[in-house]
Structure 1
Amino acid sequence: MGLFVTGAFAQTTGSIEGVVVDENNVPLPGVTVEATSPALQGTKVAVTDTQGKFRLVLLPPGSYTVKFTLSGFAPTEQTDIKVGLGRVVTLNVQMSSAFKEEVIVSGAAPTVDTKTAEVGVNLDKDFFTNLPIGRNYASVVRVAPGTGNDAAGVTVYGSTGAENAYYIDGINTTGVELGTQGKVLNFEFIQEVQVKTGGYQAEFGRTTGGMINVITKSGGNEFHGDVFGYYDSDAAQAKPAADVNYWASRLSRSYLVDGYTRKDFGFGLGGYFIKDTLWFYGSYDYVKNDEDRKVIQDFQALARQYNAHDYGFPAYGSIFTNSQTRDLWSAKFTYRLSQNHSFILSGFGDPSKTEGPIRGLAGNPDSFMGTVDEGGTDLVAKYEGVFGTNWVVNLLAGQHKEKSNEGGRGLNQVAFIEYSNPIYAQTGVVPVWDGFGFAQRQEFGRDVYKGDVSYFLNNFLGDHEFKFGAEFEDISVNNKNYNTGGQRIYGLCRGGYTGDGAQPCGREIYYRHRFFMRSFPSSRFAITNADILVPLVVDSKSENFAMYVQDTWRLTPNLTLNVGVRWEQQKLFNSEGKVNAKLNDEWAPRVGVVWDPKGDGTAKVFAHFGRFYETIPMDMVIRSFGKEITAFTYNYHGAREEDPSTRYNVACDPAVDAFRRCSILGHDFTPVDPNLQGQYIDEAVVGGEYEVMKDLAVGAKYIYRDLGRVIEDALGFDQGYYIGNPGRGLLRESWDMNYERSYPVPEPKRTFKGIELVARKRFSNNWGMIASYLWSKLEGNYDGTFQVSTGQLDPNLNSAFDYAEFQVNNKGYLSNDRRHQFKVDGYYVFPFNLTVGLSAYYRTGLPVTAMGYSIAYQNWEYYLSERGAFGRTDDEWEADLHLDYPVKFGGIQVKFLADVFNLFNRQGEVGRNMRYDLGEDYTPINYDTGAYEPPIKPGDADRPPTNPAFNTPNAWQSPRSLRLGVRISF
């Protein structure tokens, strides 16, 4: 089991180095060092220099045997040396006189890596396949200390789930549009996962969160393979602790999952065409997930109660099945031209299709029934070479592809989104008639070219590993945004909801028409039906370039300095092929120091400082540089119209019709502050680690992360968006929603402070484990590129600074703040071959904030209280169990698998309803005076919550469930 870290080129290999001495600790030159492994083609050979030093590079992850021979000395062999992704294993070897027998040492690799200040873990397949985790490799990542989760993905030390970088076989597979996980990969295909959570060197960038590095399986000198299958369904799930109708009465949901089946089966085969020269590996996994969704609101009855049209609502209790199929595959060819030169070709894909309800079930079937085609293919070509004894070269070219295309009848129909309907007032569910409302058809690509050169130098100043590298990414997007049928129409209440039955709107209803425009009409405030654009097409790109230089300098045998600097550049193009934004000043220094106080590789004290820049995802190119001009018309009516067809008229000319008004938001291309600077975090880590006994290390560290600068957009005086650095330049001020006054924009703040304790046990004596405890505090006014507080994922274009109202009272504990987190993952193999794996965690709750409804955005955007003023959600804990038992038939092993999730069936809350009101639009600014309203506090008698479900649970842990599987290996 590999649970260790180091630094190297988003690596697919590791290395072994060290010093060979005689019985008197005198360095031995001329010693032949040979490394062999089932993961290695042929043998890697090195010879010690005049100082007794050796180095073996470009070693695929695996278990190695290293043999040392020299005339006049007994051969010495060390076995079971675990080499991980990017890990530098240090071996200090003492050879004895030839009159003694051969010396064989097992498991001699050190547990503590004394060459790097990096923070994170390496997890090999023997570890994560023995844990009860999800089938997607992202489930493996959450084992790493410092990680958590939010709705966007894996969180790392205060950064949101949309701030990580994901690499597979050396290529960047991060989601092109939003910066989330961009590739689904079954862990059956994976050899090892490396999770870097901090302290990494200058060769790594493009992330303000963590870096996830994955290598897929390779072939070998023997044929080996697996056939596997997994199955689980609601038949093996415990019943929900709460009655479904009780849940339905309290949640803003149109359905609950009534039943499901999940199954996947596949195979993998690896071997050789030519032993030690040409290897292959291929695998395939068919995945099918069916989910029965049951309508839990009696929409038809509510419509009859309030004399409102239901327009084809599904009946209460109706079942709609969402069905998703995936065809996952992976392939790799490894060609060894010679001992020092190798070529690797790999590919993997995750095409999928979803059919059935792709929206909520509040509306007629045309508003939610459809299809989604997703996924894509990645191809990678890599060269690894050693020249002489001092030079190592890595070159890579690759292509990442993604698509997500929505289809169905709703794509061509106008959607009526009825916030004014009494169903919304009673249930919190927004009824939608006919079309989808908003839909996308997207294709993304990322062409990657990168390389690095390492030079090893030994002199009187110590040992150096200089590394120089560069990388270039050419990213393309072809995006079609639809306001389905040409426009979206919202029914809105100008006041709150009275709840008096016949007319739930406290004031008159109006209809807001929203549609895209390619350019401004002849009069900015005169709009006709001819201005509607279907769809809005953006065909554009961005270019990312980076260079770095770094030195791993071992000043003395027990003191190492990691120093480097990285420079990044990003160009974002508009839909006319011109550069609309350019970031050219992104210098990121990295400095780390590691001290081995005992000098024997069993302990280290380390410190690291680094700056890490974000790479802006393509969401900005699509929305800001693709001529997304959004037009609105507002048609007022004193009461609900019985004939919805009259709502289609969007024509608006205030000079002619005083009862209608219209507005346009946006520009042809969003203006960018000419002094725009990149978004980054600064990080400092200080810690220590000590091997308390063989294979068991414990450590402690302090982590500090500060969000130094942010890129976002805001609305200016002309109702157009501007992109800049909030609190600086063009975004020093923002306007209120009435455009009466401007207000200063506060600088974004996000500060993470944490103390973490970690225990890591390498697998030996039948067990292995990693456990961690983290105390932390996350404060500020900005969650990150994923705006957790409002649920918005528009990286660098979130609503956080759009209007002055959205920053009032916005300070305190951020949405992902948890004070205490403990987790343990490990497994034990009994003498009778039964394997038991356990994953368990305990964590304190999240802050609860009173959020207010903004009618402009149809969402709860206002901070009516300061963040966290209403306490926290309940503490959470859970344990999952893995069992497997092998049965052998000749050369075939059949392993029976069972995973029990939520072993104790604890269905505790994991979320609270933070909507303080039901749509009253309580703005936090007094428009008459321009003064900010004071924050609401618990028990505020003058401003009590109007939402009866405020600060009550609205999400729970899933009931206990069972997944069964079988894996046949040969």
Structure 2
Amino acid sequence: MASNYLAKGLKRSALTVALGLSFVGGVQAQTNTAGAVTGRAASGDTITVANPATGFTRTITVGADGNYRFSQLPTGQYTITRNNGSPRNVTVNVGTNANVDFVAAGGDATELGTVTVVGTGAVNPIDISSVESTTILTAEQIKKIPVAQNTTAVALLAPGTVRGDAAFGNLASFGGSSVAENQYYLNGFNITNSFRSLNFAAVPFEAIAEQQIKTGGYGAEFGRSLGGVINQISKRGTNEFHAGGNVYYIPEDLTEETKNTFYSNPLTPDSFGQLRSDNSKDNGWQYTANVWASGALIKDKLFAYGLVSYNKQEADAWGSVLATGNTTTETKSPKWLVKLDWNITDNHILEFTGFSDKQKQYVDSYLNDVGKLNRTQFLGTTLNEQGGENYVLKYTGYLTDSFTLSVLAGHGEFSRATELIAPDGRHITYDGNINAPAQPGCPVIIDSRPGYRVTSTGAYKSTCNVSGGQLNRKDSGDTRDQFRLDAEWQLGDHLLRFGYDRDDYESIAGVAIEGGYQWTFLTSNGPDGAPNTGDEFDIARKQYFSQGSTVKVKQHAYYIEDSWNITDNFIAYLGGRWDTFENINGQGATYVKINNQFGPRLGFSWDVFGDSTFKVFGNAGRYALPLTPSVAVRGASASLFSREDFTFTGVNPTTGEPTGTTSRGNFRYLNGEDGHPKEARAIASKNLDPMYQDEYILGFQKQLTDHFSMGVRGIFRDLKAAIDDNCDYTAILDAHPGAAFELPNPGFPYCRMFNPGEDAVFETDLNNDGHWVTDTIPGARLSPKAKRTYSALEVFFDGNWDKLFLQGSYTYAKSKGNTEGGVKSDIGQADTNVTQDFDYIELTRDTYGYLPNDRRHSLKLFGSYQMTDEWAVGANLLVQSGRPLNCLGVFDTNPGPVYAPHPYGSSFMRCGTTTAGGANDATVVARPRGTAGRLPWTNQIDLNVAYTPNWAEGLTLKMDIFNVLNSQKVTSVIETAEVAATGNPSSTYLLPASFQAPRQVRFMVQYDF
């Protein structure tokens, strides 16, 4: 009976490994590029692991404690043998620990040769060495389900992730964090675009073998993230030659129209319900073609994988019926990836990864008649460049049976350049010289006069300005040099990992107004100060704005962690990480440096029954985030911002510029930005802490049957410190009553970096005479403490049968606080770390409440069913509650009869004006964050069908239908409810800003040989 029970128990354990649990697992003590095989055997046994596809083999001798471990194994299918006995099969996935026991717990040397661990395509076994929250999806799984071929779409399958605001592009929010707080890796190399942390290298997705999504509890080797970590592993070559190609095609004719938008603010009856944007002519299509090949250059020694990918897409956007322009956009993305693997010996491996994700986007701009969906004059083309080349080299050495060392070095580049091409072929660029920002071309023209003035004179506009906005400098881009060293050492019951991680990032950045400057037409209400009384007159405001510099972030970290087998069934995890962040401005001076920020990590994992079928786990950790380089481009370097008002007698019909101008004598530099460098020592509080948060997770995982697993996890995240800027310089002046003061002054910046709510230590050269003073400003004088909490309960499951796999999760979550984090979805502000949240204390009133990434309910379900040898179907369901809404209005600084709005306009959590009279109207009330309602629930069903005919081996035909029911619920709206100039209700309040993507059909043809 004992032996039968033991065989049955270990058979169940083996199935656990094979079937896995897709939504949790991962091994805490693993690198971000490999996996491991561990288990028990008799002391002195020899255990051999081999990869038949590559000829890799490694043998170790089991120690006195009876445990063995093969660490940092490249992902793939392996066989494992004991004393040259019968082989067993095992799948190694990234970050996972596959367990194969040859003896029972406690050292019973009964041979278990009938137990075979077989990889079935499911991943993430219930691994008792893990305290992480992670999801792994393989290329095979991704191909079976209807999901877009991009990193974010796959990440959104994991529990605890929600789609970020449309204003920031296609990005995910993890665990209530902002979309700017994630990190992205490929083969161990950080591919996050850290300039604003709102982008990452677009690796050709067909080349991805596995994608690991870490949503919490990750170990000390990972840092610089408060959200999540997306870790991708590329495909690689084997001894067997493989090649193939495919084409994905999304036709225009099978893509539904996007819904039209209508004015939605009931407080503006003249416009409520009227058409704002007619999207009936908007259209687009795209295709992606991939060709690949892999094999051995030298059998069992040197392997190569290569892929070339080309994506092209076109889109017509006709815009608002009130717009005077529309665009056609063409995007071309030629990409490639090369992966080389050299098994120098069985104990030494060298890997090389190179890839390019360059992209060019051509935006053709046209004029149209107001209210008509037509095209008149061609204005020119905006050329946006993105992406670059990346090269990574990694060495792994199995130096002894118990000690493994890996070293990685890589270099990456990313372009952010913009260029304009006029109709006559002239190229318009900005070279980064902030004091001479003029380029050939026409200035930007903005007509901000009230409607009755525009109606009487006609709108002033340019017919030769191409972009209508700003240009990135022509050499804008980023470079990254990364080095890391990771070591793993098995010492009895202790698995020690330690390492060093360096990541130096340089950004060339800057913007200037197209044509060099901007004209804004405004209306003065005349001597009586009242509108539309007959004494108004128009003025023209000339504005220069330019910035440009080369800024840097230097960051390094040390970490150490110990996974301690206190008993055979209980593991304690202890880790620590020490991060140093140094931010350098355009003059090469350090303006922020934070040394050795300590991040402890603690956790436990209890294998309740000792057979890997039921695990209870928990962890606690502290995670820190550095300042992005973008902060320094304007806030800590030289910039130019000036305005001057003019009267005028006429308007140039081509350029839109005023003619017959006379200055009103009010030239001024704004915010002290006169083109001179800022003093680095004055930019940030001397006691600045990094942005950091604490995280706590407690959960369990249970194998319910041989084919079905589930788990429950509770999560709490608490933001302990944020970094943002404050622009209320009167706090300094209050400390020095009577002191002479005048801007611009390089030693007296208009805005400074601080930890909201904490006392700030600022250095200032008050009189620009070299005499520096130090002031400690109480936190309450500047702002309340930054707060953000996230609490969630996640239920997740994984079923895998012969022909069916099914995975899913339900998450109940709350995200609450007074700051979203790095960015601000309320108004689509992408200035990471320098949002307007804490610029003035008035902006912080009534801001505590449910945050933009609060999605109370999320249900996710996806899977695939193999109907016959030739036919398979897949499905993907998402049901999610809507985000909270705000009502943003003006703040009248003068409660008397004269309206005096705060210069930040409609940015305050107060609104409700229902009649003319502006913000003085008694109906203006506080509207705390998140109390203006919620967006509707969204639901989306995606389906696919795949045909792999027996009569054509290697051929696959597939059709995906996304959003089958064509549900187009609103996913974001305009939340500014009042017009800054008057305080009256804004007609665009609650106007939809984005919808669910309409129904779309994608076809795929693939051939493998």
Give the AA of the match of 1:968: Y
Structure 2: distance between partners of 1:589 and 1:44: 34
In the alignment, what sits opposite 1:167? 185
Map of 1:235 onto structure 2 = 253
Aligned to 2:298: 274
Who is 2:738 aligned against?
none
Cα distance, 1:658 vs. partner? Answer: 5.7
Task: Please state how far the C-alpha of 1:439 moved relative to its aligned partner.
Answer: 1.5
Instruction: Return the offset for 1:465.
Output: 1.1
Partner of 1:488: 518
Q: Structure 1 residues 588 and 511 mapped into 2: Cα distance closer, same or farther (>3 Å)?
A: farther
Preserved CA contact (<8 Å) 1:398 1:447: yes
How many Å separate the matches in 2 of 1:888 and 1:674?
70
1:702 to partner: Cα distance: 1.0
Hey, what does 1:959 align to over in structure 2?
998
2:92 & 2:203 partners in 1: Cα distance?
Answer: 23
Identify the residue that residue 921 of structure 2 maps to in structure 1. Answer: none
Q: Is the 8 A contact 2:296 2:304 kept in 1?
A: yes
SS state at 1:852 partner: coil
1:903 aligns with 2:937: no
1:571 aligns with 2:582: yes
Counterpart of 2:88 in structure 1 is 78
Aligned partner of residue 690 in structure 2, secondary structure:
coil
Q: Which amino acid aligns with 1:259?
A: N
Instruction: Return 5+ residue gaps in structure 1 as ranges.
Output: 21-27, 300-312, 517-534, 734-741, 923-944
User: Please, which of 271, 279, 283 is the counterpart of residue 259 of structure 1?
Assistant: 283
| SS, match of residue 855 in structure 2 | coil
Q: 2:351 aligns with which of 344, 358, 363?
A: 344
Return the match for 1:447 from 454, 470, 481: 481
User: In the TM superposition, what is the alpha-carbon distance from 1:455 to its structure 2 partner?
Assistant: 1.1
Distance change in 2, residues 1:33/1:165 (3 Å): same
CA contact (8 A) 1:450 1:472 kept: yes
Measured in 2, the distance between the counterparts of 1:252 and 1:361 equals 15
Per-residue deviation, 1:755:
0.9
Residue 927 of structure 2 is aligned to residue 881 of structure 1: no
> Aligned in 2, Cα 1:788/1:256: closer, same or farther, shift over 3 Å?
farther
Shift of 1:199: 0.6
Contact 2:162/2:855 (8 A) holds in 1: no
Which position in structure 2 is the counterpart of 1:627? 638
Quote the offset at 1:264 in angstroms: 1.1
Measure, in 1, the Cα distance between the counterparts of 2:689 and 2:1003.
Answer: 51
Paired-residue identity, % = 25
Q: In structure 2, how many angstroms separate the alpha carbons of the residues matched to 1:644 and 1:597?
A: 76
Q: CA deviation at 1:244?
A: 9.5
Partner residue of 1:142?
156
Q: CA deviation at 1:371?
A: 0.9
1:791 maps to a residue whose letter is G
Correspondence for 2:100: 91
CA contact (8 A) 2:494 2:564 kept: yes
Q: Give matches, 1:359-508, under 5 Å.
A: 369-408=381-420, 409=422, 411=429, 412=439, 413-420=442-449, 422=451, 434=465, 436=467, 437-441=469-473, 442-458=476-492, 463-492=493-522
SS of the equivalent of 1:788 reads coil
Aligned to 1:861: 907
Say whether the 8 Å CA contact 1:39–1:61 is kept in structure 2. Answer: no
1:63-115 C-alpha deviation (Å, 9 max, x unpaired):
33322236xxxx34432x23211111222224999999963524389831111
- Residue identity opposite 1:913 in structure 2: I
1:723 is matched with 753
Pairwise mapping of residues 671-750 of structure 1 onto structure 2 (< 5 A)?
A: 671-715=683-727, 716-717=729-730, 720-730=750-760, 744-750=782-788
Give, as a single letter, the amino acid of the residue that structure 1 aligns with 2:828.
Answer: G
Q: Which amino acid aligns with 1:238?
A: E
For 1:286, the aligned partner's letter is Y
1:388 partner SS: coil
When residues 958 and 97 of structure 1 are mapped into structure 2, their CA distance, relative to the original with a 3 A threshold, is closer
Deviations 1:613-651 (A, max 9, x none): 112221112222321242233447899999977648999
Q: TM-score, normalised by structure 2?
A: 0.81
Helix, strand or coil: the match of 1:600?
Answer: coil
Cα RMSD after superposing both structures:
3.5
Offset of 1:681 from its aligned partner?
1.1
Instruction: Tell me the distance in 2 between the aligned counterparts of 1:539 and 1:844.
Output: 43
Deviation at 1:425, TM superposition (A): 9.5
How many Å apart are 1:952 and its aligned residue?
A: 5.5
Contact 1:629 1:668 in 2 (8 A): no
Identify which of 129, 150, 160 aligns with 2:143: 129
Alpha-carbon contact 1:326-1:352 (below 8 Å) kept: yes
Secondary structure of 2:140's aligned partner: helix
Which moved further from structure 2: 907-916 or 103-112?
103-112
Please name the residue that 1:829 is paired with: 866
Equivalent in the alignment of 2:12:
none
The alpha-carbon deviation at position 130 of structure 1 amounts to 1.3
Please list the CA deviations of residues 442-487 of structure 1 after superposition, one character each: whole Å capped at 9, or x if unmatched.
11100001101111101xxxx1111111011221122232122222
For residues 243-322 of structure 1, the aligned pairs below 5 Å read 258-297=282-321, 313-314=324-325, 320-322=327-329
Aligned to 1:550: 561
The SS at the match of 2:632 is helix
Distance in 2 between the 1:769 and 1:174 partners? 31
Q: 1:588 to 1:243 in 2, by over 3 A?
A: closer
- Contact map agreement 2:646 2:662 (CA 8 A) in 1: no
Number of aligned residue pairs: give it.
877
Output the CA distance in 1 between the equivalents of 2:395 and 2:453. Answer: 59
Shift of residue 803 of structure 1?
A: 2.5
1:791 matches 2:828: yes
CA-CA distance at 1:550 after TM superposition = 0.9
Match of 2:216 among 198, 208, 225: 198
Closer, same or farther in 2 for the Cα pair 1:487/1:156, shift >3 Å? same
Who is 2:34 aligned against? 13
CA distance in 2, matches of 1:139, 1:697: 24
Q: Residue 242 of structure 2: which of 215, 220, 224 is its match?
A: 224
1:169-199 Cα distance to aligned partner (Å, 9 max, x none):
1111101211023211232100101111111
Match of 1:327 among 334, 340, 363: 334
Q: Give 1:876 shift.
A: 0.8
Q: Do the aligned partners of residues 770 and 251 (structure 1) sit closer, same or farther apart at CA in structure 2, a change above 3 Å counting?
A: farther
CA–CA separation in structure 1 for the residues paired with 2:288 and 2:453: 39
Q: Give the TM-score, by structure 1 length.
A: 0.84
Aligned residue type for 1:623: R
Contact 2:487–2:498 (8 Å) recurs in 1 = yes
Structure 2: which 5+ residue stretches go unaligned?
1-18, 265-270, 371-375, 423-427, 430-438, 731-742, 744-748, 764-779, 892-900, 911-926
Q: Secondary structure at 1:455's aligned position in 2?
A: strand
Q: Is the 8 A contact 1:542 1:570 kept in 2?
A: yes
Task: Single out whichever of 36-45 and 566-575 deviates more from structure 2.
Answer: 36-45
- Asked if the contact 2:124/2:136 (under 8 Å) is kept, the reply is no
Amino acid corresponding to residue 960 of structure 1 in structure 2 = R
Partner of 1:872: 934
Q: Deviations over 1:765-799 (max 9, x none)?
A: 12223211111111111011111111001111111
Q: How many Å separate the matches in 2 of 1:826 and 1:346?
A: 31
Structure 2 vs 1, CA of residues 963 and 860 (structure 1 numbering), >3 Å: closer, same or farther? Answer: farther
* Structure 1 residue 662, shift from structure 2 partner: 5.5
Contact 1:449/1:472 (8 A) holds in 2? yes
SS in 1 for 2:837: helix
- Return the alpha-carbon distance in structure 1 between the equivalents of residues 534 and 701 of structure 2: 63
